[in-house]
Amino acid sequence: MSYTPEMRESIKRVEATRSARLSETWPMMTPAEKQEILERFHPDYIREGMREIRVGVSKGQRMPLELADIVEGRSHLHSDSLDLEQIDYDTDVLVIGGGGAGASAAILARENGAKVILATKLRFGDANTMMAQGGIQAADKPNDSPAIHYLDVMGGGHFANVPDLVEALVKDAPLVIRWLEELGCMFDKEPDGTLVTIHGGGTSRKRMHSARDYSGAEIMRTLRDEVRSYPEDIAILEFAPAIELIMDDKGQCAGAVLKNLETGEHLIVRAKCTIVATGGSGRLHYQGYPTTNHHGATGDGIVLCYRAGAKLAFLDTMQYHPTGAAYPEQIVGLLVTEKVRGLGAQVCNVDGKQFVYPRETRDVEASAIIRECVERGKGVRTPTGMLGVWLDSPMINIIHGPGTIEAKLPAMVRQFARFGIDITKDPMLVYPTLHYQNGGVALDVHGRTNVPNLFVAGEISGGVHGRNRLMGNSLLEITVFGRRAGRAATLRSKEVELGQLTLAHLDDWERQLKEAGVEPKLVSPILLPDYTRKVR
Amino acid sequence: MAEELIPIYIMGKKYMVPPTLTIMKALEYSGYQLIRGVGCRGGFCGACATVYRLPGDYRLQIGLACQTVVQPGMYLAQIPFFPAQRAAYRLDELEPTFQTVFTLYPELMRCLSCGTCTKACPQDIDVKQYMADAMRGDIHAVADRSFDCIMCGLCAARCPAEEAQYNIAILCRRLYGKYLAPKAEHLAERVREIEEGKWDAALEELKSLSEEELRKRYNERDIEPA
């Protein structure tokens, strides 16, 4: 599966320019150039890819067509589908979602005295968190500060971010790194304990912490192991996604209906507070893009929260990671971590020439790669017809010394070696891939939504990243806001008096659809992507 | 372009699939909508551990379904769950010693050093060696050597001594990370500053700026050299 002769020819041109490129980096774009390239090439600006939603509390907001279809979907249930008196689980805090945000929330909820149920669609830990490679940002070096981090986040998000959320993010960041260190997370360190930090796209200080290139996996498996240390306080329900939230007759969120994915059985969970941490929606493949996302990233939580009346924000902006694998075919769309560029690898076209500063913010970097391939015709074509540009990984060992790639990027080396490509010697072919849902359910600094006793945390939420997220701020977001939601939900649960449980909001939803003349295309949440070939 | 199809056997049943597919995509091509045995689809989560055999070969081979390309005549089945024991512990009550590991996982010393685990690891980790490190009480070595573990359970599934190697490994990594790795002093200092409110005023000031002023500061900010 190694490179074709045509690709080899192009790689020779990359090699020919390498020594000269080592001493010259392409200049960053001016603010005006950035705006222009975004408007012309970024998928968020493709008008036909989005539409307004026609019902609900955020009626009129634009979002990708595929997401709008599930948001305007029909429920699996009606108000009288189930006997809500038959309660299977009664708890203080229900956490829906078993990724990094859900795990953080569960740990903090327990610590603050709550009995917790953590329900997750697949296995506990099956989440985008597990796949985040590059790192987690925190301003903990002497030349850095939460204020500088704040400025980077706001600029990266095109100044649309919610300031209070950004403040919470940057101020909690060092606290979270310290917390993870105490939980036994193995961050990369110098022999004296100094945390190793590098740049990411859009950072003005080197504040990207990593655990080799398994950063998210290391955080996830540590948090998961910690949650599993308290079986008497935290019950873990796997393969049990929520299919609707339950309300009470006072208009408060009061739990959820779960569905055992294997037996089809419905389970009623009554909870004083509910935290939805179901992650993103890359598996909806907006505009046909491949995705880096986990199998379960189907936007379920957005659907549940919206039907319960929670407001949405920034769902008209998705993040396309600039460097997804474009070759070989088996791993198309797979994330090639930004750390590769953080360590000095440049991006080159078919002629081996640079055309973009390697560490622009993700949206700008992705747009530049799309322009190079689509408008300028300088991409490399693969046997299946995909286009891509070169990410010149061998530069890293030249800059930092032999063995650096193997030590710092073991996962990447292994991923490509499986298909006969040695990234220490040859560059990787990359193209943008759907990576992250910048927006989601609106929240405050405690993770509260506008629906009483309903909280959100992590990728499902919208506001902290504005219109574009910087690398390393998602692992940060899930831990910061997971912890905040876990704590706040527990404190709130101590004063909650639940009324009569009801699913009346589902009938109301049906009525709204009807009044707006919307004929739902599908039943949602969809829970699983369907990649089966349609057989007879 | 019409592609030659090849036969594979999913749990004994024959399906014809394109030869370029990974096992996971071949399962989907054959009509399976996956619930178990699928996770990140990127080789990081360990959900899709698969055992297979090739024609004419008695040996069982292993791989991750999302990372392994099908071969003609491949006989395969997934092991999406393995009922291994995780010892009951709370990290903050432990000491980073051999005694801790041995007390929680006494079966550690039953290891035969046969190396079946190493052969079974889809991550190419030398599992046998880190088990030897564990038996010597070298927690740092276990942590370092097992670092790329995705906890798929294939080592445990194949172990004649009934070890749960990957659970021993995460215990050692957490012991190392919490107790043995050098502490980050600069981090502790920044945490102190934040708790004392040292950065509150600067953040309040930034929050109060107009977008225009904030843009100006952003565009003029200095950038640490790479």
Q: What is the pLDDT of residues A87-129, one digit of tens each?
A: 999 999 999 999 999 999 999 999 999 999 999 999 999 999 9
Residue B169: inside a domain, yes or no? yes
Q: How far apart, in whole angstroms, are the C-alpha atoms of residue B174 and residue A175?
A: 18
Q: How far apart, in whole angstroms, are the C-alpha atoms of residue A347 and residue A353?
A: 8
Burial of B218 (0-12, 13-18, 19+ CB in 10 A): middle
Q: What is the pLDDT of residue A338?
A: 87
Residues B113 and B61 in one domain: no
Interchain contact A13–B (C-beta under 8 A)? no
How many Cβ atoms sit within 10 Å of the Cβ of residue A414? 18
Backbone CA torsion sign across A392, A397, A403, A405: negative
Contacts for A310 with CB less than 8 Å, ≥ 6 apart = A57, A441, A442, A449, A450, A451, A454, A456
Query: Closest partner residue to B224 among A143, A175, A216, by Cβ?
Result: A143
Q: What is the pLDDT of residue A366?
A: 96
Among A125, A116, A338, A105, residue whose Cα is nearest residue A221: A125
Residue in A closest to B167 by C-alpha: A225
Interchain contact A219–B (C-beta under 8 A)? no
Residue B152: inside a domain, yes or no? yes
Q: How far apart, in whole angstroms, are the C-alpha atoms of residue A77 and residue A256?
A: 12
Residues B95 and B174 in one domain: yes
φ and ψ at A181, to 5 degrees?
A: -60, -40
The b/e string for A69-78 (b: 16+ C-beta within 10 A; e otherwise) is: bbbbbbbbbe
Residues B60 and B126 in one domain: no
Residues B154 and B110 in one domain: yes
Residues B56 and B118 in one domain: no
Residues B96 and B155 in one domain: yes
Residues B141 and B99 in one domain: yes
Residue B45: inside a domain, yes or no? yes
Query: Closest partner residue to A221 among B36, B69, B151, by Cβ?
Result: B151
A341 is catalytic: yes
Q: Is pLDDT at B2 greater than 60 in this prediction?
A: no
Residue B96: inside a domain, yes or no? yes
Q: Is pLDDT at B163 greater than 90 in this prediction?
A: yes
Q: What is the pLDDT of residue B80?
A: 85
A283 is catalytic: no
Domain's final residue, options B78, B106, B127: B78
The helix/strand count (H/E) of chain B reads as 10, 5
pLDDT in tens, A411-437: 899 889 988 999 999 999 999 999 999
- The two three-digit tokens of residue A516, written as one number: 């707006």
CB contact at 8 A, A316 and A438? no
Q: What is the pLDDT of residue A1?
A: 57
Q: What pLDDT tens digit does each residue of chain A (536 aa) get?
A: 589 999 999 999 999 999 999 999 899 999 999 999 999 999 999 999 999 999 999 999 999 999 999 999 999 999 999 999 999 999 999 999 999 999 999 999 999 999 999 999 999 999 999 998 889 999 999 999 999 999 999 999 999 999 999 999 999 999 999 999 999 999 999 999 999 999 988 999 999 999 998 999 999 999 999 999 999 999 999 999 999 999 999 999 999 999 999 999 999 999 999 999 999 999 999 999 999 999 999 999 999 999 999 999 999 999 999 999 999 988 889 999 988 998 999 999 999 999 999 999 899 999 999 999 999 999 999 988 899 999 999 999 999 999 999 999 988 998 899 889 999 999 999 999 999 999 999 999 999 999 999 999 999 999 999 999 999 999 999 999 999 999 999 999 999 999 999 999 999 999 999 999 999 999 999 999 999 987 66
Q: How far apart, in whole angstroms, are the C-alpha atoms of residue A492 and residue A29?
A: 47
Q: What is the pLDDT of residue A536?
A: 63
Q: What is the pLDDT of residue A265?
A: 97
Q: How far apart, in whole angstroms, are the C-alpha atoms of residue A52 and residue A61?
A: 5
The whole-model pTM stands at: 0.96
Q: How far apart, in whole angstroms, are the C-alpha atoms of residue A44 and residue A437?
A: 11
Query: Closest partner residue to A334 among B42, B69, B182, by Cβ?
Result: B42
The domain that holds B72 is classified in CATH as 3.10.20.30
Residues B97 and B175 in one domain: yes
Residues B60 and B25 in one domain: yes
- The two three-digit tokens of residue A379, written as one number: 């991409």
Interchain contact A12–B (C-beta under 8 A)? no
CB contact at 8 A, A105 and A273? no
CB contact at 8 A, A127 and A457? no
Contacting residues of A for B86, CB less than 8 Å apart: 225, 228
Domain's final residue, options B56, B78, B100: B78
Q: How far apart, in whole angstroms, are the C-alpha atoms of residue A31 and residue A160?
A: 15
Residue B86: inside a domain, yes or no? no
Residue B224: inside a domain, yes or no? no
Q: How far apart, in whole angstroms, are the C-alpha atoms of residue A365 and residue A351?
A: 19
Residue B65: inside a domain, yes or no? yes
CB contact at 8 A, A352 and A15? yes
- Determine whether the interchain pair A528/B174 forms a contact, defined as Cβ–Cβ distance below 8 Å: no
Residues B203 and B142 in one domain: no
ipTM above 0.85, yes or no: yes
Interchain contact A229–B (C-beta under 8 A)? yes
Residue B206: inside a domain, yes or no? yes
- The pLDDT-based confidence of B1 (bands split at 50, 70, 90) is very low
Residues B142 and B212 in one domain: no
Q: Is pLDDT at B102 greater than 70 in this prediction?
A: yes
Q: How far apart, in whole angstroms, are the C-alpha atoms of residue B87 and residue B89?
A: 6
CB contact at 8 A, A78 and A503? yes
φ and ψ at B217, to 5 degrees?
A: -60, -40
A347-348 and A387-391 beta bridge pairing:
antiparallel
> For chain B, how many structural domains are there in total?
3
Query: Closest partner residue to B40 among A130, A141, A239, by Cβ?
Result: A130
- Determine whether the interchain pair A335/B42 forms a contact, defined as Cβ–Cβ distance below 8 Å: yes
Interchain contact B219–A (C-beta under 8 A)? yes
Residues B194 and B161 in one domain: no
Interchain contact A524–B (C-beta under 8 A)? no
- The two three-digit tokens of residue A164, written as one number: 């209070």
Q: Position of tokens 């796997």?
A: A238
Domain's final residue, options B57, B78, B99: B78
Where in the sequence is the domain holding B145, given as residue range(s)? Answer: 91-180
Q: What is the pLDDT of residue B226?
A: 80
The domain that holds B111 is classified in CATH as 1.10.1060.10
pLDDT in tens, B45-93: 999 999 999 999 999 999 999 999 999 999 999 998 889 999 999 999 9
